[in-house]
Every structure is written in structure tokens, then in C-alpha cells.
């Protein structure tokens, strides 16, 4: 009896031990599963938050981009209806709030957009996309600042160049005036001409002995000024006077290509007269002036004087030359615009644009002499710069605006040169007096529609990317 009783006690102890081990294993497995499930839930929650935030970030940015499009549309349609207007720090603005964009998942989008200086040629747009109503984050903002322009302004400076400039005459003077105010002289003479180059080489800016009443700007090196040269103002004139505050060495500019075909019709004339008259004069009928367009593929040279009464536009892929005693005379309301991918050599008596006080035989006076009456645009390729040359000269007054950033431009003569010159390399010879026409700074090439010039997202990385406080504009 005692033996059996002892055996049974040992048997129960073994079963209980096995049951305890199984229970411990089950508990351990449950704990592990719970830990794994907790980690998975935490990971899933984190991924959800990241995914939600990413969705909100993208959504806010898309809304900000949409605000830019809305602002551009308002600018190009000149339609400010629905926008509030105001002034901040003296600058006019339009502002508008767009709200109620349902994005799903309880999210709602808003757009806050401001157009600063909307009446100018270069308005600035501030656009902010905002996501609200999320359970992950109360709100999220992304902001874009966009600078715009409504075309291209080729003549911001008096003389501008890619490769460099050289003022090699002994008595060259550079200053400024404004043709919108009147003729050069008297109170209409200023010190606002800039002679500039984006080149960084040490010999890129050769002022020589010229007197520059204005500024010199280079891409990296100091200008080379001769012993009699000066960079100063008319308030402090004198040979050898160099005002360091009027010299900069961090100049940068872009030189866009100009396509002539945007400015002529599909069927221009293929021949241009070598002498005679283009158009008619009638001082009683102003509307008699026409636009006459020419497309030349063969070299052209004058055989006599040419009097122009109309708006003449020439597109040429060949060379043009004017020599001897021949001249092109702009009469009355006449203008001349040349787009060229060839060489131009206008010497001799050159192009008379308002410098002849005597009337023509038919009574027509010269033009008002504004440089924008005679413009030359170089269409030379930027892949082969400096191959072609545009040379304009004469001993009388030359009023012209030249934009040829991939051609060498030479100005020869001892007379007055009014306007603005842009070239690959620009060289003045003789003893010319060059005066930059400040009115040309507003001359716009383009269709008048606004486009995006540059944009940056305001990310608070530095002072320049600090988001704009939209509440300043009532938003």
C-alpha cells in the first residue's frame, strides 16, 4: 500500500511540472507576440504619420504652385476682381485667400497669395499652400516666392559685354541722359552710365584714358584705368579721379537670344533698295506710315542715299555695308530695325537719326533722334561667339541701340554716340562721346505677357528663405 501510494505521488509531480513548463512557454510566446505586435503597431503608426505628413507636404506645395498660376493668370488678364488691394511699406499689392479645397481624410486646403507691385513690369508673387484639419498635425504650410517679368530688357546698362570692353580713344567720354526728357545737354546730362562685362579675366575691362561719369562693373577683376582715365560723377569731375564706390567686381548678367521671326510676318520682301526713298511724306497725314519688312539672304550694299519714312524691319543672314558718302536717313516718323546673323559695316556718313537740322526736299525733318529709332539685334550663335562683327561709325552723331551679345561690336568715329551697346566684345575707337540713354532701360522685347523669371521655396534655411508673414497683406 505504501509503495503504490509513493508511486502515485511521484507521477502527479511529473505531470504538474510538464503543465507548468507549457504554461510558461505559452506566456513567453504571448509576451513575444505582444512585443512584436506592439513594435509593428508603433512602426505602422510611425509610417502612417510619415505618410500623412508627406501627403500634406506635397499637397501644400501643390497648393502653393496653384496660387502662383492663379496670380499669373490675374496678371496676364489684368484682372484684379476678387482680390483685395493695399500698400505695405510703400509697395502696392493684391492679396487673395482661396479656401475650401477638400483633400480627403478630413484634410482641407487653403491658398494665400500676394502679388507685390502688380502694375510694374517685374511683379513679385508670394504664394502659400496650407493644409488644415489633420489629426496628425494641426496645420502645415509651404511657401514659394516667385519673381516675374513681362519680356526681356536688353539695355539695362550703357555698354555691356560678355568677353570684355576696350575704350581705346584718347578723349572718350561716357555719361548718360534721358531721351524721354529731351535732347542731350544742359540739365539732361547725368552720371548714370554703366560700362560692364561679365568676364573675369584681368584684361577684360580696359577703361584706358576715358572719362566715365557713371559706373564700371566686372565679373571678377578690377578695371584697367589709364593715368588720365576716371570713374566718377559730374559732381566730382577731373582726369584721374577714381571713385571706388562706383566699381563692382561681382557683376553677373544673362544674354538671351533674340529670334527675329517673332517680329516679322510670314511673307516679307526679299529685296531691299540700295538707294532712293522708302515710304512717303505727308505732314498732314500721320497715318500714312507703314511697316515694311524685308528678309535678305544675299549681301547688300548701298549705291546711294536712302531716305526712310516708314517703320522698316530687315532680317538678314548675309552681310550689309554702307561706305563712302552714302547714308541712311531716318525722316519724320521713320525707324530702322535690323536683325542680323551676318556682318554689318555702316561707315562713311552712316545712319542719320535726327542729327541733320535741315529739312528734306519735300519738307520732312529728321526723326526725333531717339536711339530706339535705329536698333540692331545680332542673331549670331552663342556656340561661335566673336566670329561676326557689327561696326557702326561716322563723324556725325550716331543714335543707336545695339544688342548683339555674340558678335564683336565696334563703334568708330569722333562724334556723339547716343544709346546703348551690348556685344561679345565692345570696342570704342576715335574720340567719341558716348551717352547712355536711360530711357532704353525700360525697353521691353516680348509679347507683354508675364512669365516666371525665378522662384525659391521659403524653407527658413537662411535669411533669404525666411517665409513672408502673410498677415502683413491681410491674410
Specify whether 146 is located in the same domain as 230. no
- Who wins on pLDDT, 387 or 14? 387
SS3 string of 230-264?
EEECCCCCCCCCECHHHEECCCCCCCCCCCHHHCC
Question: Please, is 36 exposed, middle or buried when counting C-beta atoms within 10 Å of its C-beta (0-12, 13-18, 19+)?
Answer: exposed
Report the alpha-carbon distance of residue 93 to residue 67 in Å, rounded.
15
> Could you tell me if 438 and 455 lie in one domain?
no
pLDDT of amino acid 429: 85
Q: How confident is residue 8, by pLDDT bands cut at 50, 70 and 90?
A: very low
Among the residue ranges 134-138, 253-257, 371-375, the one predicted with the least confidence is: 134-138
Q: Which residue has the higher pLDDT, 415 or 175?
A: 175
| 60-95 residue pLDDT tens | 899 999 999 999 999 988 899 999 999 998 899 999
Q: Which residue has the higher pLDDT, 256 or 154?
A: 154
Q: Where does residue 419 rank: exposed (0-12), middle (13-18), buried (19+ CB within 10 A)?
A: buried
Residues 328 and 279 in one domain: yes
DSSP-derived secondary structure letter, 389: E
The verdict on residue 25 lying in a domain is no
List the domain range (segments joined by +) for residue 75: 61-151+450-473
pLDDT for the residue 4:
46
Q: Is residue 26 part of a domain?
A: no
Is it the case that residue 97 has pLDDT exceeding 90? yes
Of all residues in the chain, the percent with pLDDT exceeding 70 is: 82
How far apart are alpha carbons 461 and 413 in whole angstroms? 53
Q: What is the mean pLDDT of residues 163-183?
A: 92
Q: What is the reported pTM?
A: 0.69
Are 304 and 398 contained in the same domain? yes
Question: Is residue 6 over pLDDT 50?
Answer: no
In a domain, 410, yes or no: yes
The grid coordinates of residue 83 equal: 482680390
Secondary structure E strands in 90-210? 91-104, 107-116, 124-132, 139-149, 159-167, 173-177, 193-197, 205-208
Same domain, 164 and 146: no
User: Could you tell me if residue 412 is left (phi over 0), alpha (psi between -120 and 50 degrees) or otherwise beta?
Assistant: beta
Q: What pLDDT score was predicted for residue 349?
A: 82
The reply to whether 359 falls in a domain is yes
- As a whole number of Å, the end-to-end CA separation of the chain is 98
Residue 2 domain flag:
no
Asked if residue 4 belongs to a domain, the reply is no
pLDDT at 204: 95
CA distance 23 to 26: 5
Residue 377 has pLDDT above 90, yes or no: yes
In which element (H, E) is residue 402 found?
strand 398-404
- State yes or no: pLDDT of 438 exceeds 80: yes
Report how far residue 413's alpha carbon sits from residue 433's, in angstroms, rounded to the nearest whole number. 9
227 belongs to a structural domain? yes
- The model's confidence at residue 444, banded by pLDDT at 50, 70 and 90, is confident
User: Are 116 and 197 in the same domain?
Assistant: no
Asked whether residue 357 falls in the same domain as residue 457, the answer is no
Cell triple for residue 40? Answer: 509593428
Total number of domains constituting the chain: 2
Phi, psi (rounded to 5 degrees) for 273: -60, 145
Within a domain: 74: yes
Do 417 and 394 contact (CB within 8 A), yes or no?
Answer: no
206 and 227, same domain (yes or no): yes
Residue 22: band (very low, low, confident or very high) from pLDDT cuts 50, 70, 90:
low
**pLDDT at position 432 over 80:** yes
Both 213 and 302 in one domain: the answer is yes
Helix (H) or strand (E) holding 10: helix 2-77
Cell of 10: 511521484
- Identify the pLDDT of residue 464: 81
| pLDDT score at 318 | 96
Find, among 334, 353, 451, 329, the residue nearest to 402 by Cα. Answer: 353
For the beta sheet containing 350-352, the strands, ordered from the edge strand earlier in sequence to the opposite edge, are 276-278, 306-308, 327-330, 350-352
268 and 142, same structural domain?
Answer: no
Are the C-beta atoms of residues 250 and 221 closer than 8 Å to each other? Answer: no
DSSP symbols for 183-214: SSBTTB-BS-EEEEE---STTSEEEET-EEEE
Whether residues 134 and 174 share a domain: the answer is no
* Cα–Cα nearest to 415, from 399, 398, 428: 398
Q: What is the pLDDT of residues 41-64, one digit of tens each?
A: 666 556 556 666 677 788 889 999
Q: Are residues 226 and 357 in the same domain?
A: yes
Closest CA to 189 of 205, 211, 209, 166: 211
Residue 278, number of CB atoms within 10 A of its CB: 20
Would you say 325 and 348 are in contact if contact means Cβ atoms under 8 Å apart?
A: yes
Mean pLDDT of the chain: 85
Q: What is the mean pLDDT of residues 423-446?
A: 90
CA pair distance 379, 406, nearest whole angstrom: 8
- Residue length, the chain? 475
Q: Is the pLDDT of residue 7 over 90?
A: no
Considering only CA atoms, which of 277, 269, 318, 320 is closest in space to residue 295? 269
Q: Are 224 and 242 in contact (CB under 8 A)?
A: no
Amino acid at each position: 500500500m505504501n509503495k503504490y501510494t509513493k508511486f502515485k505521488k511521484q507521477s502527479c509531480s511529473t505531470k504538474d511540472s510538464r503543465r507548468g513548463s507549457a504554461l510558461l512557454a505559452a506566456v513567453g510566446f504571448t509576451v513575444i507576440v505582444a512585443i512584436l505586435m506592439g513594435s509593428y503597431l508603433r512602426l505602422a503608426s510611425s509610417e502612417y504619420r510619415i505618410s500623412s505628413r508627406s501627403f500634406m507636404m506635397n499637397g501644400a506645395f501643390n497648393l502653393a504652385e496653384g496660387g502662383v498660376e492663379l496670380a499669373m493668370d490675374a496678371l496676364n488678364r489684368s484682372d484684379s476682381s476678387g482680390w483685395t488691394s493695399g500698400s505695405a511699406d510703400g509697395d502696392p499689392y493684391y492679396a487673395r485667400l482661396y479656401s475650401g479645397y477638400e483633400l480627403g481624410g478630413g484634410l482641407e486646403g487653403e491658398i494665400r497669395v500676394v502679388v507685390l507691385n502688380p502694375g510694374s513690369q517685374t511683379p513679385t508673387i508670394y504664394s502659400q499652400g496650407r493644409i488644415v484639419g489633420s489629426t496628425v498635425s494641426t496645420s502645415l504650410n509651404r511657401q514659394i516666392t516667385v519673381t516675374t517679368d513681362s519680356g526681356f530688357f536688353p539695355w539695362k546698362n550703357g555698354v555691356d559685354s560678355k568677353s570684355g570692353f576696350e575704350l581705346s580713344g584718347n578723349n572718350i567720354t561716357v555719361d548718360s541722359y534721358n531721351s524721354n526728357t529731351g535732347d542731350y545737354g544742359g540739365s539732361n546730362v547725368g552720371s548714370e552710365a554703366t560700362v560692364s562685362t561679365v568676364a573675369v579675366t584681368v584684361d577684360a575691362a580696359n577703361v584706358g584714358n576715358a572719362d566715365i561719369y557713371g559706373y564700371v562693373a566686372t565679373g571678377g577683376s578690377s578695371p584697367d584705368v589709364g593715368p588720365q582715365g576716371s570713374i566718377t560723377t559730374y559732381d566730382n569731375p577731373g582726369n584721374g579721379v577714381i571713385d571706388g564706390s562706383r566699381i563692382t567686381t561681382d557683376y553677373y548678367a544673362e544674354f538671351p537670344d533674340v529670334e527675329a521671326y517673332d517680329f516679322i510676318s510670314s511673307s516679307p520682301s526679299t529685296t531691299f533698295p540700295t538707294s532712293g526713298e522708302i515710304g512717303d511724306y505727308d505732314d498732314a497725314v500721320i497715318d500714312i506710315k507703314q511697316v515694311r519688312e524685308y528678309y535678305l539672304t544675299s549681301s547688300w550694299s548701298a549705291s546711294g542715299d536712302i531716305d526712310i519714312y516708314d517703320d522698316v524691319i530687315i532680317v538678314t543672314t548675309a552681310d550689309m555695308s554702307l561706305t563712302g558718302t552714302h547714308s541712311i536717313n531716318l525722316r519724320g516718323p521713320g525707324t530702322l530695325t535690323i536683325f542680323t546673323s551676318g556682318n554689318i559695316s555702316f561707315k562713311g556718313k552712316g545712319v542719320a537719326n535726327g542729327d541733320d537740322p535741315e529739312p528734306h526736299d519735300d519738307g520732312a525733318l529728321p526723326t526725333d533722334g531717339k536711339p530706339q529709332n535705329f536698333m540692331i539685334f545680332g542673331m549670331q550663335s552663342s556656340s561661335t561667339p566673336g566670329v561676326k562683327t557689327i561696326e557702326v561709325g561716322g563723324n556725325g552723331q550716331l543714335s543707336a541701340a545695339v544688342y548683339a551679345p555674340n558678335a564683336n561690336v565696334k563703334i568708330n568715329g569722333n562724334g556723339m554716340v547716343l544709346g546703348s551697346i551690348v556685344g561679345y566684345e565692345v570696342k570704342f575707337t576715335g574720340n567719341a562721346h558716348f551717352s547712355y540713354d536711360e530711357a532704353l532701360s525700360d525697353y521691353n522685347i516680348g509679347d507683354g505677357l508675364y512669365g516666371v523669371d525665378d522662384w525659391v521655396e521659403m524653407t527658413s534655411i537662411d535669411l533669404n528663405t525666411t517665409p513672408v508673414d502673410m498677415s502683413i497683406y491681410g491674410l
